[in-house]
Amino acid sequence: MRLHSRTYEAQAEIDKCEEDVNRYDNSVAAYRLCQTQEVERAVRETNGTLQRWKCGVAPKALCQ
């Protein structure tokens, strides 16, 4: 991302700002990946629990 130089006084400020934005973007992407993986794990665990519960209630022929 390139910022307009008249907003900042020095190229060093522009570079620092771009580094901050890139670091933020990377941390958000890592958080979203972690969150997605955790949701998928929780859904699998819940589905397994529900399946075991259904098999305890339903006739055994349906659970094989």
Nearest alpha carbon to residue 15 among 1, 33, 25: 1
What DSSP state is assigned to residue 8? Answer: S
Dist. CA 61–CA 64, nearest whole Å: 6
Dist. CA 23–CA 29, nearest whole Å: 10
pTM: 0.60
Q: In the numeric block, which tokens belong to residue 51?
A: 């399946």
pLDDT in tens, 18-35: 999 999 999 999 999 999
Q: Is the pLDDT of residue 1 over 70?
A: no
